[in-house]
C-alpha cells in the first residue's frame, strides 16, 4: 500500500480491466489517473491511432464537456472580483438575451410564446436553469430544428461550424426560450453562453482570459481550444464506435482535423483539448478548495458553493437526461454533485463531469481523491461498461 492508501495489486487490476477493453476493440486506448492524498498513479494502455504509436502520458485528448467546470471557474473568478454578481441579470453584458420570450409548449411552434417571468441571471447560466439547452427528443421539435440550423448546437462538438461569439449570441437571441428562467435544468448551452459573457465582462477574448487567469496559474501548458502544429503529433485520433459492426471508425483526425486550428467560437461547453496532467492540476485545485501551490484561484467558500447541489426537488422532478437521472445526483456550478450513495463509487459530496468524446473526471473530498479517464472514443456512453469498470476499479483500489 502506498502513501495514499492505494493497493498496488488492485491498481494492477485497473490496468488489466482497461487493457481488456482495448484488446476487445471497444476502446482505441485510455490514459487513467488516480490521485489520493498526494499519491499519483498514471497508466496508459492502447493506441494514439489504431495501428500506430501507443498512447503516452502527455497525449492530448478532446475533453468535450469536461470544459464546463473550467468555464464555471472562470466565471467565479469574475464574481469574486465583483465584476459581475451571481443574481445580476446578464442583460447589461448580453443585451441579445434581454426581454426573452418563452415557448408556450417546448415542442410547439416558435411563434407561440409568452413573455419571460424575469431576466436571466449568471446563477441561471451556471446551474443550467436559464431556460434553454440541448433537446433530448426525436429532433423534430421546431426548437430543436432551429437550434441545429442556427447554432449547430445538438450532439458532439463541431468547432469548425459555429460562427464567432458575437454572431453566435445574436443568433441565439433570435430563438425563444424553451422554459421559464429558473424552471428546469437544461443541458449544455449555458456553458457556451458563459464563454461569451466572460469575454465581455473581462474585456478580452474568452480563450485569452482562460490562458491568463486559469491555465497560466495552474501550469496547464497544453490546454486550449486548438492544438498548434508543433504539438499536433500528440493529439490522439478521435473515433466513433459502430455498434452494429462492433468496430471503431475515425471521427476526427489530428492533422487537418477540427482541433488543428483555432475555432471561430471557443466553446465553453465542449471545446477544450487537454492532457491528464493538465486536468490533474485543475482537479487538485478544486479538491484543495481553490488553492494551487502558492496560488489561489478561488476562495474555499466559492468552491464549496460550486460543488453544492443547487437544484430543488421540483426542478429535479422535471429535469435530466432521462427520468430519474437526478435521483442520486444534483448540479452545482458547471458540474454534477453526488447526493445519495447507491454504489461503492457514488460517495455523497463527490463532484465532477464527463465528456461525450470519451473522458471523465470526478473529485471526492471525503476520500481525498480524484480520478481521470481520457479515451478518444466519441459518443462514450455515460453508463457504458468501460466507464463503469473504470470507476469501479478506482474505488476498489482503496486499501485502508
β-strand partners of 362:
352, 371
**In degrees rounded to 5, what are phi and psi of residue 30?**
-160, 140
Measure Cα distances from 380 to 28, 133, 386 in Å.
12, 20, 9
Who contacts 167 (Cβ-Cβ below 8 Å, separation ≥6)? none
Measured over the CA atoms of residue 146, residue 150, residue 153 and residue 155, the dihedral's sign is positive
C-alpha cell at 158: 463541431
Who contacts 68 (Cβ-Cβ below 8 Å, separation ≥6)? 188, 191, 268, 269, 270, 334, 335, 353
β-strand partners of 336:
331, 352
Q: What is the pLDDT along the chain (400 residues), one digit of tens a residue?
A: 677 899 999 999 999 999 999 999 999 999 999 999 999 999 999 999 999 999 999 999 999 999 999 999 999 999 999 999 999 999 999 999 999 999 999 999 999 999 999 999 999 999 999 999 998 877 789 999 998 888 876 677 888 899 999 999 999 999 999 999 999 999 999 999 999 999 999 999 999 999 999 999 999 999 999 999 999 999 999 999 888 888 899 999 999 999 999 999 999 999 999 999 999 999 999 999 999 999 899 999 999 999 999 999 999 999 999 889 999 999 999 999 999 999 999 999 999 999 999 999 999 999 999 999 999 999 765 678 899 999 999 999 999 9
Count Cα neighbours of 148 within 13 Å in the Cβ-side half-sphere: 14
**In degrees rounded to 5, what are phi and psi of residue 337?**
-130, 130
| 352 within 8 A of 360, measured Cβ to Cβ | yes
β-strand partners of 47:
54
- Which of these, 173, 186, 289, 273, lies nearest to 227 by C-alpha position? 273
Dihedral angle over CA of 45, 48, 49, 50, nearest 10: -10
| 161 within 8 A of 152, measured Cβ to Cβ | yes
Who contacts 294 (Cβ-Cβ below 8 Å, separation ≥6)? none
The pLDDT score that the predictor gives to residue 379 is: 77
Please tell me the distance from the alpha carbon of residue 153 to that of residue 144, in angstroms, as a whole number.
9
Dihedral angle over CA of 77, 81, 86, 87, nearest 10: -160
Give the SS3 label for residue 197: helix
Measure Cα distances from 319 to 133, 158, 165, 182, 329 in Å.
11, 25, 28, 12, 11
- Which of these, 385, 332, 384, lies nearest to 362 by C-alpha position? 332
**All structural domains of the chain:** 8-66+207-396 (3.40.710.10), 71-203 (3.40.710.10)
User: Residue 157: is it exposed, middle or buried by C-beta count within 10 angstroms (0-12/13-18/19+)?
Assistant: buried
Please tell me the distance from the alpha carbon of residue 223 to that of residue 256, in angstroms, as a whole number.
19
Amino acid at each position: 500500500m502506498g502513501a495514499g492508501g492505494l493497493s498496488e495489486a488492485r491498481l494492477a487490476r485497473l490496468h488489466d480491466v482497461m487493457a481488456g477493453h482495448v484488446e476487445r476493440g471497444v476502446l482505441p486506448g485510455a490514459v487513467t489517473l488516480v490521485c489520493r492524498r498526494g499519491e499519483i498513479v498514471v497508466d496508459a494502455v492502447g493506441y494514439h491511432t489504431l495501428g500506430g504509436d501507443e498512447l503516452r502520458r502527455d497525449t492530448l485528448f478532446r475533453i468535450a464537456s469536461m470544459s464546463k467546470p473550467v468555464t464555471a471557474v472562470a466565471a467565479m473568478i469574475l464574481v469574486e472580483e465583483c465584476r459581475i454578481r451571481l443574481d445580476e441579470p446578464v442583460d447589461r453584458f448580453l443585451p441579445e438575451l434581454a426581454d426573452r420570450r418563452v415557448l408556450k409548449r417546448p415542442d410547439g411552434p416558435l411563434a407561440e410564446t409568452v413573455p419571460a417571468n424575469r431576466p436571466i441571471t449568471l446563477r441561471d447560466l451556471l446551474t443550467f436553469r436559464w431556460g434553454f439547452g440541448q433537446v433530448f427528443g426525436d429532433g423534430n421539435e421546431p426548437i430543436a430544428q432551429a437550434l441545429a440550423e442556427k447554432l449547430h448546437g445538438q450532439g458532439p462538438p463541431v468547432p469548425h461550424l459555429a460562427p464567432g461569439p458575437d454572431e453566435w449570441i445574436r443568433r441565439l437571441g433570435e430563438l425563444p426560450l424553451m422554459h421559464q428562467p429558473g424552471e428546469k435544468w437544461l443541458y449544455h448551452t449555458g456553458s457556451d453562453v458563459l464563454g461569451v459573457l466572460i469575454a465581455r465582462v473581462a474585456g478580452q477574448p474568452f480563450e485569452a482570459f482562460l490562458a491568463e487567469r486559469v491555465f497560466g496559474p495552474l501550469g496547464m501548458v497544453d490546454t486550449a481550444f486548438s492544438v498548434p502544429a508543433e504539438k499536433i503529433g500528440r493529439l490522439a485520433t478521435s473515433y466513433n464506435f459502430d455498434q452494429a459492426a462492433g468496430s471503431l471508425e475515425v471521427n476526427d483526425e489530428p492533422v487537418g482535423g477540427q482541433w488543428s486550428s483555432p475555432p471561430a467560437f471557443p466553446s465553453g461547453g465542449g471545446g477544450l483539448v487537454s492532457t491528464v496532467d493538465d486536468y490533474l492540476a485543475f482537479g487538485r485545485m478544486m479538491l484543495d478548495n481553490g488553492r494551487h501551490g502558492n496560488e489561489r484561484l478561488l476562495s474555499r467558500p466559492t468552491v464549496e458553493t460550486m460543488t453544492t447541489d443547487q437544484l430543488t426537488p421540483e426542478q429535479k422532478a422535471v429535469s435530466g437526461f432521462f427520468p430519474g437521472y437526478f435521483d442520486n445526483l444534483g448540479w452545482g456550478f458547471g458540474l454534477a454533485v453526488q447526493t445519495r450513495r447507491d454504489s461503492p463509487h457514488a460517495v455523497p459530496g463527490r463532484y465532477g463531469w464527463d465528456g461525450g468524446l470519451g473522458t471523465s473526471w470526478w473529485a471526492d473530498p471525503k476520500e481525498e481523491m480524484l480520478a481521470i479517464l481520457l479515451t478518444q472514443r466519441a459518443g462514450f456512453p455515460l453508463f457504458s461498461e468501460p466507464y463503469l469498470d473504470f470507476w469501479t476499479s478506482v474505488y476498489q483500489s482503496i486499501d485502508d
